[in-house]
Structure 1
Amino acid sequence: MNSFMDKLAEKILPFANKLGSNRYLTVLRDAFMLSFPLTMFGSIIVVVNNLPFFNDQTKSTLNNLFGNGQNATMSIMTIFVTFGIGYYLSKSYDEEGIFGGAVAFASFLMITPFFMTIEGGEVIQGVLSLDRLGAKGMFIGMISAFLATEIFVRVTKKGWQIKMPIGVPPAVAKSFAALIPAIITLSIFLAANAMMTGVFEANLHDLVYEVIQKPLVGLGSGLPATLIALFLVQFLWFFGLHGQIIINSVMDPIWNTLMLENLEAYKAGEALPHIVTKPFMEVFTVGLGGSGMTLAVVILMAFFVNSQQSKEVGRLALAPGIFNVNEPAIFGLPIVMNPTIFIPWIIAPLVVTTFNYFVMAIGLVPAPTGVAVPWTVPIVLNGILATNSLLGGLLQIVDFFIVGIIWYPFLKMLDKQQQTPIV
Structure 2
Amino acid sequence: MDNTNSGNAFSNFINNKVLPPIMKFVNTKPVKALQDGMVYALPFIIIGSVFLILSNIPIASVAAAVKASGWSAFFNQAYTVTFGIMSLWAAVGIAYVYVRNEGYEALPAGLTSMATFLLLQTLNIANPLVATMGKAGTGITNAAGKVVMSGADVSSNIDKLPSALRAFVESPVTGVINITWLGGQGMVAAILVGILVGWAYSSMIRAGWKITLPEQVPSSVANQFTAMIPAGVILTGSMLIYAAFSALGNTDVLQFIYKVLQTPLQGLSDSLGGALVIAFLVPFFWFFGVHGGLIMGAITSGLLIPNTFDNAALYHAGKLTVANGAHIVTNEFYNNFINLTGSGITIGLVIFTLFAAKSVQFKTIGKIELVPALFNINEPFLFGLPIVMNPFLAIPFFLTPVIVALSTYLVIYFGIVPPLNGFAAPWTTPAIISGFLIGGWKMAIWQTITLIMSVGIYFPFAKKYDAVLTKQEAEKEAAEAAGDTATN
Displacement of 1:205 in angstroms is 1.5
Deviation readout 1:316-361 (Å, 9 max, x if unpaired): 1101111111111111211000011111100111001100110111
1:29 aligns with 2:35: yes
AA of the residue aligned to 1:365: V
User: What is the alpha-carbon distance in structure 1 between the residues aligned to residue 371 and residue 283 of structure 2?
Assistant: 22
User: What is the alpha-carbon distance in structure 2 between the residues aligned to residue 410 and residue 83 of structure 1?
Assistant: 47
Residue 125 of structure 2 aligns to a residue whose secondary structure is strand
Deviation readout 1:9-68 (Å, 9 max, x if unpaired): 333332333233222111101111111111111111222333323524224233212222
User: What is the alpha-carbon distance in structure 2 between the residues aligned to residue 302 and residue 146 of structure 1?
Assistant: 47
Deviation readout 1:132-174 (Å, 9 max, x if unpaired): 1011111112112222222222222221221111211111111
AA of the residue aligned to 1:6: S
User: What is the alpha-carbon distance in structure 1 between the residues aligned to residue 318 and residue 352 of structure 2?
Assistant: 42
User: What is the alpha-carbon distance in structure 2 between the residues aligned to residue 145 and residue 6 of structure 1?
Assistant: 37
User: What is the alpha-carbon distance in structure 2 between the residues aligned to residue 19 and residue 311 of structure 1?
Assistant: 39
Contact 1:87–1:98 at 8 Å: present in 2 too? yes
1:140 aligns with 2:193: no
Contact 1:259–1:279 at 8 Å: present in 2 too? yes
Displacement of 1:401 in angstroms is 1.0
Contact 1:20–1:245 at 8 Å: present in 2 too? no
User: What is the alpha-carbon distance in structure 1 between the residues aligned to residue 215 and residue 448 of structure 2?
Assistant: 66
Report how many residues are paired: 421
1:93-132 matches, within 5 Å, as 93-118=102-127, 119-120=129-130, 122-132=171-181
1:33-112 matches, within 5 Å, as 33-55=39-61, 56-60=63-67, 61-112=70-121
Structure 2 equivalent of residue 417 of structure 1: 468
User: What is the alpha-carbon distance in structure 1 between the residues aligned to residue 121 and residue 341 of structure 2?
Assistant: 41
1:198-347 matches, within 5 Å, as 198-272=247-321, 273-286=326-339, 288-347=340-399
Contact 2:40–2:89 at 8 Å: present in 1 too? yes
AA of the residue aligned to 2:261: I
User: Mean alpha-carbon deviation: is it higher for 35-44 or for 208-217?
Assistant: 35-44
1:370 aligns with 2:422: yes
User: What is the alpha-carbon distance in structure 2 between the residues aligned to residue 413 and residue 9 of structure 1?
Assistant: 27
Structure 2 equivalent of residue 166 of structure 1: 215
Residue 139 of structure 1 aligns to a residue whose secondary structure is helix
User: Mean alpha-carbon deviation: is it higher for 41-50 or for 85-94?
Assistant: 41-50
AA of the residue aligned to 1:317: E
User: What is the alpha-carbon distance in structure 2 between the residues aligned to residue 9 and residue 162 of structure 1?
Assistant: 47
5+ residue gaps, structure 1, are: none
Contact 2:422–2:438 at 8 Å: present in 1 too? yes
User: What is the alpha-carbon distance in structure 1 between the residues aligned to residue 241 and residue 111 of structure 2?
Assistant: 19
User: Mean alpha-carbon deviation: is it higher for 14-23 or for 88-97?
Assistant: 14-23
User: Mean alpha-carbon deviation: is it higher for 49-58 or for 189-198?
Assistant: 49-58
Contact 2:301–2:331 at 8 Å: present in 1 too? yes
Residue 3 of structure 1 aligns to a residue whose secondary structure is helix
Structure 2 equivalent of residue 358 of structure 1: 410
Contact 2:245–2:253 at 8 Å: present in 1 too? yes
- The Cα RMSD (Å) is 1.5
User: What is the alpha-carbon distance in structure 2 between the residues aligned to residue 21 and residue 58 of structure 1?
Assistant: 51
5+ residue gaps, structure 2, are: 131-169, 477-488
TM-score with structure 2 length normalisation? 0.83
Residue 194 of structure 1 aligns to a residue whose secondary structure is helix
Deviation readout 1:158-191 (Å, 9 max, x if unpaired): 2122111121111111111111111111100001
**Identity rate, percent:** 30
Contact 2:320–2:421 at 8 Å: present in 1 too? no
AA of the residue aligned to 2:44: L
Deviation readout 1:390-423 (Å, 9 max, x if unpaired): 1111001110111111111101110111122459
User: What is the alpha-carbon distance in structure 1 between the residues aligned to residue 331 and residue 462 of structure 2?
Assistant: 31
User: What is the alpha-carbon distance in structure 1 between the residues aligned to residue 237 and residue 49 of structure 2?
Assistant: 37
User: Mean alpha-carbon deviation: is it higher for 63-72 or for 274-283?
Assistant: 63-72
User: Mean alpha-carbon deviation: is it higher for 118-127 or for 336-345?
Assistant: 118-127
Residue 240 of structure 1 aligns to a residue whose secondary structure is coil
User: What is the alpha-carbon distance in structure 2 between the residues aligned to residue 9 and residue 143 of structure 1?
Assistant: 31
AA of the residue aligned to 1:92: N
Structure 2 equivalent of residue 392 of structure 1: 443
User: What is the alpha-carbon distance in structure 2 between the residues aligned to residue 337 and residue 5 of structure 1?
Assistant: 11
Residue 196 of structure 2 aligns to a residue whose secondary structure is helix
User: What is the alpha-carbon distance in structure 2 between the residues aligned to residue 5 and residue 42 of structure 1?
Assistant: 46
Contact 2:125–2:176 at 8 Å: present in 1 too? yes
AA of the residue aligned to 1:345: F
